[in-house]
Structure 1
Amino acid sequence: MTDFTSHVPSPPPKWVENFARFGLTAKGVVYCLVGILAFMAAFELGGSSEQGSDKKGVFQFIENQPFGKWLLGLVALGLACYAIWRFIQGFMDTEDNGTDAKGIGKRIRYIFSGIVYGGLAYLAAKMVFGTSSSGGSGGSRETLASELLKQPFGQWLAGIVAIGIIATGIYQIYYGLSDKYKKKVRHAGLKHDIEEKMIQMGKIGYVARGVVWIVIGYLFLKAAMQSNPEKAGGSGSAFQFLESSSYGSYLLGAVAIGLVFYGIFMFMRAKYQPISTT
């Protein structure tokens, strides 16, 4: 007789689930602080600046708190856990995306996310051990722009990367407005009020995140078109760009609140989202 239990999915290994939840929590902490510092910069509260509200600025803020090195170490560890979880999703296909073009695309996004957050974990760890150089998060993008512009057809290469960043931002906004993320929320079997709060937090958060990506891509495109890597920048430069536009303080303030909502959405995912694995 066939053992029917062989067809029942096994629960995720506890260590994978712990990595995912710890990682989502760390990501939530970072985005909440980015949003809070950006909001303070928008309305000139507490001497905050747009450049100081990027992710490295957040790490420095954490480091300056009581027991800051320990707190930053926990954030670095959490981001590393998040990166590892993303690699597991991408390489092991724990979300069952398959091997068709659409599935491969999703898995590549997971891997790319793992690389990005692995880099942030490395930056935070370097600061914990006192080996990080000065400079904002835009430094890595300036370096990338500089290296691309040195290559044959460098402006074209940098332009392609810029378009890719802009496309990522547009997709984030589309993802939020189309409510594609609702599937994971509704699979968690939550109470209706919690579910609706998660959906609203996610929608606002993804749109705000998409706006920041689009501005970063625009700055990278300017660097490509002007063959000037210094024009490229990270989230701090994007915040500065938003603040300098018409009604900039209110625009940056709205984006900052959206990033805080995105951070809260990460906390809710950490608590409620089912973690899939094989």
Structure 2
Amino acid sequence: MSTSGRAQGAARRARNSTGLRVLARAGYAASGVVHLLIGWLAVRLALGSSSGSADESGAFRQLASAPGGMIVLWAVTLGFAALALWQLTEALVGVPGVDDAQEAGARVKAGGKGVLYGVLAAMAARYAVGGGGGGGGGQQESLTATLMQDPAGRWLVVAAGLVIVGVGIFHVVKGWRKKFLEDLRGAGGGKAGVAVVRLGQVGYIAKGVALAVLGGLFVAAGVTHDADKAGGLDDALRTIRDQPFGTALLIVTGVGIAAYGVYSLARARYARI
């Protein structure tokens, strides 16, 4: 058997593993905890708090400083790692219930999610062992500055920003049209209940708005050749705060991100896995 055949066989065995399915559901619960914390930090930011960044690093830092937080951080790490492995197995062997015309796109999407969850698992593990370092915004600016040293780098930054804007718009549309119900068990997600559907709608739209603003920062950084304009989610939320009626907008966005967190906790139970 070829190397690719052995890899696909291992991926199928992993996908059929009851233990991995349970841990993957724990990954959605971990995502829920992180988004709840980001939403809380965003509301605090809107109300004038200057401590803590409203992004994944800020959420992990809050967990690390809480009583028993290290145990929770290791559980979050394990959940994200399992969810990453689950998504990567789907990228290798295919996503169930997807027709042939959409299979390639579904595999790419699953692979992208797998990488994202893997990065989150690595971040959580770094905080769990006492590392962590600075916030995401400074790291993004440093990476952007490095890219823009190359003549074509600024356009790569613009392209990355446009991709993030596209992902944000996708989240908004997915929430508005309730397309996320396809991710849940039961016909149309009917088993999940009205409350979960409403939380999913609000959460996806709020997260999409934040991602669209984040992508806009990257586009602005590339177009103006100014890496300082790039940043992470915390910078995007601060940009929302600095707009007219920004305090109210950021509170609404923070509550929406927290709603996505509650939806993710429900998804841990109802997700199609």
Q: TM-score range by the shorter chain?
A: 0.7 to 0.9
Superposition pairs for residues 170-249 of structure 1, below 5 Å? 170-185=169-184, 187=186, 194-249=192-247
Structure 2, unpaired ranges of 5+: 1-14
Counterpart code for 1:93: G
Per mean C-alpha deviation after superposition, the further-off stretch among 173-182 and 136-145 is 136-145
Map 1:119-134 → 2, pairs under 5 A: 119-133=119-133
Q: Which runs of 4+ in 1 moved over 4 A?
A: 188-192
**Percent same amino acid among aligned pairs?**
31
Q: Does residue 1:110 correspond to 2:110, yes or no?
A: yes
Q: Which residue of 1 aligns with 2:26?
A: 22
Shift of residue 19 of structure 1? 2.1
CA distance, structure 1, for counterparts of residue 64 and residue 158 of structure 2:
36
Report the alpha carbon displacement of residue 15 of structure 1 after superposing the two structures with TM.
Answer: 1.7
> Structure 1's 190 and 113: CA in aligned 2 closer, same or farther, altered over 3 A?
closer
Instruction: Report matched runs for 1:2-81 at 5 Å.
Output: 12-44=16-48, 47=49, 49=51, 52-81=53-82
CA distance 1:112–1:184, change in 2 (3 Å): closer
After superposition, give the CA deviation of every residue in 1:41-81 in whole Å (9 maximum; x if it has no partner): 2123xx454x6221101111111111222222221222212
Distance, in Å, in 2 between the alignment partners of 1:115 and 1:12 is: 21
Structure with more of its chain in helix, by fraction: 2
Q: In the alignment, which of 260, 266, 270 is matched to residue 264 of structure 2?
A: 266
**Match for 2:22: what amino acid?**
N
2:121 partner letter: A
Report if the CA contact (8 A) 2:34-2:56 is conserved: yes
Separation in 2 of the partners of 1:71 and 1:32? 14
Q: Is the 8 A contact 1:163 1:217 kept in 2?
A: yes
Q: Tell me the TM-score normalised to structure 1 length.
A: 0.86
Distance in 1 of aligned mates of 2:204 and 2:90: 20
The amino acid across from 1:28 in the alignment is G
- Contact 1:97/1:104 (CA < 8 Å) preserved in 2? no
Unaligned 5+ runs, structure 1: 1-10
CA contact (8 A) 1:19 1:85 kept: no
TM-score, normalised to structure 2, is 0.87
Q: What is the match of residue 154 of structure 1?
A: 153
The code of the aligned residue for 1:137 comes to: G
Task: State the distance in 1 between where 2:146 and 2:136 align.
Answer: 17
Q: 1:93 to 1:53 in 2, by over 3 A?
A: same
